[in-house]
Amino acid sequence: MIKIIIDEQASGRINSFEMKGHADYAEHGKDLVCAGASAVSFGAVNAIISLTGITPEIQQGSDGGYLKVIFPESEKDSEIQLLVKAMIVSLQTIEQDYGQHIKIIFNR
């Protein structure tokens, strides 16, 4: 199962997210839950870098089963937060249909 841990302040600001594990929906290379979650998360991080010029701290595992992204506070924070929250909505959509393979946990 892919677990996504969202670190959120009481104010609603997302500090970071961490994805770990494998969906195990299908064999490697054919796992649409993994592909969807990866595309959404990497797409959001790439959009943040490209559209705001801010590069968050990114930690990745060597086997593809781990990603942690920490968002620095900056003058572009409102833009970053909008993109991160859009990513979360997309991941929640995947979770609605494939909840046995992907789980989102909010640390508030």
Residue of 22, 68, 76, 103 with catalytic role: 22
Active site residue 28: no
Cβ atoms of 71 and 15 within 8 Å: the answer is: yes
d(CA 5, CA 1): 13
Cβ atoms of 19 and 36 within 8 Å: the answer is: no
Active site residue 52: no
> What interhelical angle do 77-98 and 32-52 show, nearest 10?
170
Residue of 14, 23, 34, 37 with catalytic role: 34
Residues acting as catalytic residues: 22, 34
